[in-house]
Amino acid sequence: MTTDHRFPREDAQRVVQTALGEDLGDGADVTTTATIPADQVTRSAVVARAPGVVAGLPVIELVLAAVADRLGAAAPSVELLSADGVRVERGDRLATLVGSTQVTLVAERTILNILCRTSGVATHTRRWADALAGTRALVLDTRKTTPGMRALEKYAVRCGGGTNKRMGLYDVAMIKDNHKLAAGGLSAAYAAVRSRFPTVDIQVEATTTAEALEAVAAGARFLLLDNMSPATLADTVAAVRATGERVELEATGGLTLEVAREYAETGVDYLSVGGLTHSSPILDIALDLDA
């Protein structure tokens, strides 16, 4: 599990280069090049157009530096006026930029595409974290991320008060229905993973109380309790706790904010929500040149 707020700088630089490649190709911003003198300097502001939680502010400087390098110009200076993980209101200035107008305008859309997306994920996650406040449950993300954006989106989840479950297929084993079917059963699948990767953490999906108890007996210490009603989930939590084993329990499958607290109050440790990354609306943010 990951909860730290370290910004994934190298991943962000890769995303920035890909985004600029999409925007500029092998050419230039023809509109800006034609209308803005190369030596023109302006002050501009990154401004929140809606309330939410900001995430990804270091991207501003990364994009400006990358554009300046492509244009052979000096990068505008950046003064951050907010911080990742902070709640903002409509009209709040998040950063002030001073420098080349050309660089600023070429960078504008890439800055906003990334910052609006990551801040949207953080804002959505904060709603879940607030809904679970006072319970033992934390909200987890999943691998249902935008291709190429995983590190940034999972960073945004952390900024919003959520927890990263796993980064990919490589760091945690997750035994689900298809694995059980292909391996000849839950216990067989668990034994196969433990034999092949003796030090890796293993999580096991269970859809019934009996299956959850089988997983615990096989050695599993993290269970995904999938698509259970609150009543069945509470019964399963009680049955697993009664074994005396220290097992982390996650509710998953079809969860919504409207039922989040009801599920949290069953005694699970986590609620897993793919929608944090696959369905978060953006947070409206703009870049405005000062008049």
CATH number, residue 22: 3.90.1170.20
Q: Where in the sequence is the domain holding 172, given as residue range(s)?
A: 130-278
8-state DSSP, 74: P
Q: Residue 3 pLDDT more than 70?
A: no
Mean pLDDT over residues 28-35, rounded? 95
Looking at the fold, whether 115 and 162 belong to one and the same domain comes out as: no
Please check whether residue 39 lies inside any domain of the structure. Answer: yes
Looking at the fold, whether 116 and 141 belong to one and the same domain comes out as: no
Mean pLDDT over residues 251-258, rounded? 95
Q: Residue 19 pLDDT more than 90?
A: yes
**% of the chain exceeding 70 in pLDDT:** 98
Catalytic sites, residue numbers: 109, 144, 176, 205, 226
Please check whether residue 22 lies inside any domain of the structure. Answer: yes
pLDDT tens by residue, 43-76: 999 999 999 999 999 999 999 999 999 999 999 9
Looking at the fold, whether 64 and 104 belong to one and the same domain comes out as: yes
Mean pLDDT over residues 153-161, rounded? 98
Looking at the fold, whether 165 and 29 belong to one and the same domain comes out as: no
Do the Cβ atoms of 86 and 122 come closer than 8 Å?
no
Confidence of residue 249 (pLDDT cuts 50, 70, 90): very high
Looking at the fold, whether 75 and 168 belong to one and the same domain comes out as: no
Report which secondary-structure segment, H or E, holds 230: helix 230-241
Looking at the fold, whether 112 and 234 belong to one and the same domain comes out as: no
The span from the CA of 92 to the CA of 86, in Å, is 11
- Please give the mean pLDDT across all residues of the chain: 96
Do the Cβ atoms of 43 and 97 come closer than 8 Å?
yes
Question: How confident is the model at residue 53, as a pLDDT?
Answer: 98
Q: Residue 279 pLDDT more than 90?
A: yes
Looking at the fold, whether 141 and 231 belong to one and the same domain comes out as: yes
Please check whether residue 1 lies inside any domain of the structure. Answer: no
Q: Residue 216 pLDDT more than 90?
A: yes
Question: How confident is the model at residue 122, as a pLDDT?
Answer: 98
Mean pLDDT over residues 28-53, rounded? 96
Please check whether residue 166 lies inside any domain of the structure. Answer: yes
Question: How confident is the model at residue 193, as a pLDDT?
Answer: 97
Looking at the fold, whether 213 and 189 belong to one and the same domain comes out as: yes
Please check whether residue 156 lies inside any domain of the structure. Answer: yes
Question: How confident is the model at residue 5, as a pLDDT?
Answer: 75
Question: How confident is the model at residue 26, as a pLDDT?
Answer: 87
Please check whether residue 4 lies inside any domain of the structure. Answer: no
Looking at the fold, whether 73 and 149 belong to one and the same domain comes out as: no
Please check whether residue 2 lies inside any domain of the structure. Answer: no
When divided into structural domains, the chain yields a total of 2
CATH number at residue 144: 3.20.20.70
Looking at the fold, whether 143 and 190 belong to one and the same domain comes out as: yes
**Going by C-beta distance under 8 Å and a sequence separation of 6 or more, which residues neighbour residue 196?**
none
Looking at the fold, whether 107 and 149 belong to one and the same domain comes out as: no
Looking at the fold, whether 135 and 250 belong to one and the same domain comes out as: yes
pLDDT tens by residue, 116-146: 999 999 999 999 999 999 999 999 999 999 9
How many CB atoms within 10 Å of residue 279?
12
**% of the chain exceeding 90 in pLDDT:** 96
In this structure, what are the phi and psi dihedrals at residue 218, rounded to the nearest 5 degrees? -75, -20
Do the Cβ atoms of 175 and 204 come closer than 8 Å?
yes
Please check whether residue 95 lies inside any domain of the structure. Answer: yes
**Going by C-beta distance under 8 Å and a sequence separation of 6 or more, which residues neighbour residue 102?**
29, 32, 33, 36, 38, 40, 71, 73
